[in-house]
Amino acid sequence: MAIAGGLLRRPVVIHESDLEMGLANRIAARFARIICVSFPETLLQLHGDKRVIYTGNPVRKELLLGNREKGYQFSGLPKGKKVIMVMGGSQGAQFINALIGKNLKALLEKYCLIHGCGKDNLTDSQFSSADGYYVSEYLGKELPDLYAMADLFIGRAGANTLAEIEALGLPAILIPLVAGSRGDQVKNAESFAKNHLARVLTEGQISHHQVDLLREIDHILIKEGGKRAGQVKNQAAEKIADIIIKIHREHGKKGENRS
């Protein structure tokens, strides 16, 4: 689409959600009038390119409108303990699922858990029902209410996930995906941890018992007094929309002048 737009002399606006641009956007950037980026570091990497604008990554507004009480009603979790939300994306994350299964008994002694385990993963016997544990293959329309309950997030470091937990002010333990990726989640996580209450753990550290999950959770929620920060107003969608409207109007005026 970007190449076609460039060849047809139509204005092209692209958006890069990760810190480092992927191959598709590096190609599309050659034809782009404006390049929107989600991380300040990306802006610095492309310093001198006047087409680059830092907009951030859009977040669905309904995610910020969750109701804590509705979350408790839906999940059936008891009140009185801090709540940890675990998600590995729509397909789940096998490593994170296995990690939670291994530590589930110890975690539930101190915390309540909300676990989005991913499609077809509920058949695993390690995810049997337990007091203080809500597990589902997919967290859908109830997600805003469940987010409203959470005190800590554990999951991958995809750009959309980070934008959501940043907007919600959630402390986090991030386990970025490495295998089968270009390493973009590692860079995303490192950037996020610079400015937020977050700990970045690698699968290697966990597999080789260099870190203990429960200890890391305790460190954030107890030793560091981890609390949800206030919600951060995410205006990325509005910024990108304004850019598109402006470019469209400018292109329309140029067309009128040519005619």
CA 71 to chain centre: 20
pLDDT for 259:
47
The Cα angle at residue 216 between residues 211 and 219, in degrees rounded to 5 = 135
What gap in Å lies between CA 202 and CA 172, rounded to an integer?
14
CB neighbour list of residue 166: distance below 8 Å, 6 or more residues apart: 192, 196, 232, 234
Closest CA to 15 of 29, 31, 1, 30: 29
What gap in Å lies between CA 178 and CA 171, rounded to an integer?
22
Q: Which CATH number fits domain 2-58+234-258: 3.40.30.10, 2.40.10.120, 3.30.930.10, 3.40.50.2000?
A: 3.40.50.2000
Inter-residue contact 177 to 201 (CB < 8 Å): no
pLDDT for 127:
63
User: What tokens were used for 14?
Assistant: 């692209």
Q: Which residues pair with 133 in a beta bridge?
A: 113, 130
Region class of 183: left (phi > 0), else alpha (psi between -120 and 50), else beta: left
CA distances from 135 to 87, 97, 114, 154, 246 (A): 10, 11, 6, 14, 45
pLDDT for 123:
66
Q: What is the full DSSP assignment across 65-106?
A: G--HHHHHHHH-PPSSS-EEEEE--TT--HHHHHHHHHHHHH
Give the class (CATH, top level) of 62-223.
Answer: alpha beta
pLDDT for 205:
94
Positions of CATH 3.40.50.2000 in the chain? 2-58+234-258, 62-223
Inter-residue contact 131 to 78 (CB < 8 Å): yes
DSSP 220: I
Tens-binned pLDDT, residue by residue, of the chain (259 aa)? 999 999 999 999 999 999 999 999 999 999 999 999 999 999 888 878 999 999 999 999 999 999 999 999 999 999 999 999 999 865 558 899 999 999 999 999 999 999 998 887 776 656 666 899 999 988 999 999 999 999 999 999 999 999 999 999 999 999 999 876 778 999 999 999 998 999 999 999 999 999 999 999 999 998 777 677 778 888 999 999 999 999 999 887 776 555 4
Which backbone phi and psi does 18 adopt, to 5 degrees? Answer: -90, 170
Q: Which residues pair with 52 in a beta bridge?
A: 35
